[in-house]
Amino acid sequence: MQRVSSKFEKRIDDRSACRFLPLLLLNRVSILCEVRRVQVTDKRIAVLAGGDSPEREVSLISGKTVESALQQLGCDSVLVAIDNANDIVPALTEGDTVFNVLHGGAGEDGTIALLLDVLGISYPGSRPQACARAMDKERTKDILTRNNIPVPPGRVCSDHQEIPSFCADTLEALDLPLVIKPISQGSSIGVHIVESETELLARAEDVAAQFGPFIIERYIPGRELTAAILDTGKGEQALPLVEIVPREGFFNYSAKYDEGMTEFIVPAQLDGQVAARVKEISLAAHRALGCSGYSRVDIRLADDGAPYVLEVNTNPGMTPMSDLPRAAAAAGIDFPSLVQMMNGAVK
């Protein structure tokens, strides 16, 4: 099986998402017409995990924990590990609703969500357009800027640009140190902090070779925060903030998922007004992108107290070390109750 073109996924916009992606999926997934829908009365929940993105292993852990919680809640559920976007179609025969914990790639950029919409399968969380916006860091930055939500200054290098000249121009516009990251990756995959012109060029060429288009942003000295947004049944709200303190370097993939590599302070020890401001812009970012049900908003709090939104994640991790479950626990919401609230956002 082949997956939908990653280049198409990265550049999807609001109009093309609705107009062209269903046709693309219908053409590429030849067995679509053979899918037999289960009866709504079955009420079986298929937990989708795995996928073919670099975040596959994290997704599988998320899937196992979510499926276990659903079992504790007395739900009829099944964990379905998929390898690529095309596997979703036969997987959907496993249940009549879907809980998607695929991270990165087609699982998070709106492709899977739109396929579920095409097939009339209900699922919790954000709709395809919001997923597509949030997965593309360039589009996220543009939308947030237009909504007066602060983001770090940055520049995007597209496929056709010369990397050496782009890096030279970037150094004229932005001071070192800088952050370089792929346009469409999660879990800090491909993210580097660079402190010299030589390092910038080397990292830029490496990231471009592995992931394609990338963004370079001004590094914001300060504190790393994350805000979990959750519809608790009383409307969407920001849960207690999480401060992330890596024991070494920055919050990279290893620091996120290797036990003992990071200290998590929940709730973050902040001045009341600062905390309220961070929650306010986090919820504003969630809404500006059109997210629904739940999300995770990553924030950099500058030394002068100014918050900057780094990115919004529509399919946040659900591992025991993930930020959303930590924030929920600080709000008095245990893991099964969190899953129940998230699954209550089925549309």
Domain-terminating residue out of 185, 218, 251: 218
Q: Is residue 130 part of a domain?
A: no
Same domain, 237 and 327: yes
Q: Are 226 and 298 in contact (CB under 8 A)?
A: yes
Measured distance CA(319)–CA(297) in Å, rounded = 17
Per-residue H/E/C for 12-73: CCHHHHHHCHHHHHHHHCCCHHHCCCCCHHHCEEEEEEECCCCCHHHHHHHHHHHHHHHHHC
Same domain, 194 and 229: no
Q: What is the DSSP letter of 150?
A: -
Measured distance CA(67)–CA(72) in Å, rounded = 9
Which tokens is 191 given?
A: 């993210």
Alpha-carbon distances, residue 121 vs 60, 88, 135, 316 (angstroms): 22, 12, 22, 21
Q: Is residue 145 part of a domain?
A: no
Measured distance CA(229)–CA(297) in Å, rounded = 8
CATH number (domain holding residue 182): 3.30.1490.20
Detail the DSSP E strand segments found in 59-209.
76-82, 97-100, 154-157, 178-182, 192-194
Q: Is residue 232 part of a domain?
A: yes
Catalytic residues: 55, 187, 257, 296, 298, 311, 313, 317
Say what the pTM is: 0.82
DSSP per position, 73-102: TT-EEEEEEESSGGGHHHHGGG-SEEEE--
Q: Is residue 143 part of a domain?
A: no
Same domain, 255 and 214: no
Measured distance CA(268)–CA(265) in Å, rounded = 5
Same domain, 204 and 294: no
Residue 155's nearest CA partner among 106, 110, 200, 109 is 200
Across-strand partners of 307?
301
Q: Are 113 and 128 in contact (CB under 8 A)?
A: yes
Measured distance CA(127)–CA(124) in Å, rounded = 9
Give the CA count within 13 Å in the CB-facing half-sphere of 79. 18
Same domain, 213 and 226: no
Instruction: Give the full edge-to-edge strand order of the sheet including 44-50.
Output: 76-82, 44-50, 97-100
Q: Is residue 142 part of a domain?
A: no
Q: Radius of gyration of the chain from Cα atoms?
A: 20
Same domain, 181 and 115: no
Reading the chain (347 residues) residue by residue, the pLDDT tens digits are 222 223 323 333 443 344 334 434 444 443 333 333 333 334 789 999 998 887 889 899 999 999 999 999 999 999 999 887 677 777 766 778 999 999 888 888 898 899 889 888 899 999 999 999 999 999 999 999 999 999 999 998 886 568 888 899 999 999 999 999 988 765 567 788 999 999 998 898 888 888 888 999 999 999 999 999 999 888 999 999 999 998 766 544 444 445 567 889 999 999 999 999 999 999 999 999 999 999 999 999 999 999 999 999 999 999 988 999 999 999 999 999 999 999 875 55
Same domain, 209 and 234: no
Same domain, 298 and 315: yes
Same domain, 62 and 115: yes
Domain-terminating residue out of 194, 218, 242: 218
Q: How many domains are there within the chain?
A: 3
CATH number (domain holding residue 26): 3.40.50.20
Which tokens is 5 given?
A: 């073109």
Q: List Cβ neighbours of 303 (8 Å cut-off, separation of 6 or more).
A: 221, 222
Triad 251, 290, 316: Cα angle to 5°:
30
Phi/psi at 113 (5° precision) = -60, -40
Same domain, 234 and 319: yes
- How do beta strands 236-238 and 242-246 pair? unpaired
Same domain, 197 and 249: no
Q: Which domain holds residue 336?
A: 221-343
Q: Is residue 135 part of a domain?
A: no
CATH number (domain holding residue 308): 3.30.470.20
Residue with tokens 């919790």: 124
* Amino acid 252: pLDDT: 44
* Amino acid 126: pLDDT: 96
Residue 131's nearest CA partner among 85, 100, 152 is 100
Same domain, 225 and 338: yes
Q: Is residue 186 part of a domain?
A: yes
Q: Are 190 and 230 in contact (CB under 8 A)?
A: no
Triad 235, 236, 241: Cα angle to 5°:
135
Q: Is residue 148 part of a domain?
A: no
